[in-house]
């Protein structure tokens, strides 16, 4: 099977020096992938010939690389309006359009999240039954596995029905990326504290219980990192804050470790002796391996890389796009949505029948 991935080569803090080497490396590792490099063609060509090593890599995968020219670039500080209305030939938009046109099976970008979501939503539209797309990410947990968490910031004021839709999308995301049947789903809620959960979350739990998903009930903040369930659902306000706070803790602790191991010559010596262990610890906590968030609920696979990702991290984002497309993320989402859509159409049929009765009276 050949999976075609469109890469927004201009997006992110670094652009071409990261996206092009990552794309070449991915193409070499994954013979089933073709890549569309989208952006300013002369600059992409220059990046592909940057040095002998890159040129050699490019020669090895040339038949699976295509350059797609796009004049403009969405900058990190462009307003949504500018990105959406004034830059119709941006690398981001052209890359998304290749998915819309059927020329690519997935798109990867490290550009502005808001612009990517707005353009993807405008160009691709949402899948049937999905009111709002959501952002999902895989987060490492204690078990050595990962927990998918969504929404991470696309939707700040959510209704219970949106949380249900996020659960469906997240479930399909995990089932596609990790090849897992009926992933377990938990609803993020406060536990033993004074009042258990806000009103929206309480109603969402009721909806989830009859959703056909493998719903395990409420989970607490620390369950994300315990790996209690495969999918943790929350609104985008909470999800964004929890994710950022978690990154903050990890950075603080990494800083403590660094400081203490460099405090004086004896500490430095013990760091040297413990080097293999410290390297393994760093590797286990390396966030680059979890790079690549899914913009879910759209009629196309869209993956967002962290803006500051290096080539190593960016390649993981391309990998997520490849996995999602090759394991039918969209079809899995549609299948998981089907019972809900059937129920909605039943109840609207019942409502119009009731309406007809009223009209006859």
Q: Which residues form the interface with its own copies (CB under 8 A)?
A: 113-114, 117-118, 135, 140-142, 152-157, 188, 190-195, 197-199, 201, 220-226, 234, 236-238, 240-253, 255-257, 260-261, 263, 266-267, 270-271, 273-274, 276-277, 280-281, 284-285
User: Would you say 191 and 223 are in contact if contact means Cβ atoms under 8 Å apart?
Assistant: no
Residue closer to its own copies, measured from CB, 21 or 111: 111
Residue closer to its own copies, measured from CB, 210 or 270: 270
Residue closer to its own copies, measured from CB, 247 or 346: 247
Q: DSSP state, 298?
A: B
User: Would you say 120 and 302 are in contact if contact means Cβ atoms under 8 Å apart?
Assistant: yes
Closest distance of CB 238 from its own copies, Å: 6
Residue closer to its own copies, measured from CB, 278 or 338: 278
User: Would you say 134 and 150 are in contact if contact means Cβ atoms under 8 Å apart?
Assistant: yes
Closest distance of CB 108 from its own copies, Å: 18
- Each as own residue / partner, the long-range contacts of residues 47-54 (CB below 8 Å, 24 or more positions apart, any chain) are 47/9, 47/16, 47/17, 47/20, 48/20, 48/24, 50/20, 54/20, 54/21, 54/24
Closest distance of CB 359 from its own copies, Å: 39
User: Would you say 137 and 149 are in contact if contact means Cβ atoms under 8 Å apart?
Assistant: yes
Cα dihedral value 215, 221, 227, 230, nearest 10: 30
Closest distance of CB 243 from its own copies, Å: 7
Residue closer to its own copies, measured from CB, 270 or 352: 270
Closest distance of CB 225 from its own copies, Å: 4
Residue closer to its own copies, measured from CB, 260 or 331: 260
Closest distance of CB 17 from its own copies, Å: 22
- As a three-state string, the secondary structure of 313-325 is HHHHHHHHHHHHH
184: β partners: 214
């Amino acid at each position: 099977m050949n999976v075609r991935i469109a890469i927004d080569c201009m997006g992110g803090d670094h652009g071409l020096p990261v996206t092009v080497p990552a794309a070449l490396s991915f193409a070499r590792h994954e013979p089933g992938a073709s890549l569309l490099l989208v952006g300013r063609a002369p600059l992409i060509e220059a990046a592909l010939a940057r040095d002998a090593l890159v040129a050699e890599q490019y020669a090895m995968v040339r038949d699976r690389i295509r350059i797609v020219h796009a004049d403009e670039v969405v900058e990190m500080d462009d307003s949504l309006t500018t990105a959406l209305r004034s830059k119709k030939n941006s690398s981001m938009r052209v890359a998304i359009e290749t998915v819309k046109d059927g020329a690519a099976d997935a798109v990867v970008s490290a550009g502005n999240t808001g612009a990517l979501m707005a353009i993807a939503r405008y160009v691709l539209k949402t899948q049937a039954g999905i009111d709002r797309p959501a952002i999902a990410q895989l987060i490492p947990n204690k078990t050595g596995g990962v927990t998918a968490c969504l929404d991470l910031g696309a939707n700040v004021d959510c209704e219970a029905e949106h949380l249900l839709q996020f659960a469906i999308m997240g479930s399909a995301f995990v089932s596609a990326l990790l090849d897992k049947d009926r992933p377990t789903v938990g609803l993020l809620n406060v536990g033993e504290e004074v009042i258990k959960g806000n009103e929206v979350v309480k109603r969402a739990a009721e909806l989830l219980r009859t959703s056909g998903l493998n719903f395990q009930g409420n989970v607490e903040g620390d369950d994300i990192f315990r790996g209690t369930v495969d999918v943790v659902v929350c609104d985008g306000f909470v999800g964004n804050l929890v994710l950022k706070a978690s990154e903050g803790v990890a950075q603080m602790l990494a800083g403590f470790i660094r400081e203490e191991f460099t405090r004086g010559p004896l500490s430095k010596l013990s760091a040297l002796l413990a080097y293999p262990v410290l390297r393994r610890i760093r590797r286990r906590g390396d966030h680059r391996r979890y790079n690549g968030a899914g913009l879910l609920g759209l009629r196309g696979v869209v993956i967002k890389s962290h803006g500051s990702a290096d080539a190593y991290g960016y390649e993981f984002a391309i990998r997520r796009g490849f996995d999602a497309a090759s394991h039918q993320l969209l079809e899995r989402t549609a299948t998981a949505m089907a019972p809900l859509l059937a129920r909605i159409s039943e109840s609207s049929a019942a409502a119009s029948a009731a309406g007809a009765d009223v009209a006859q009276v």
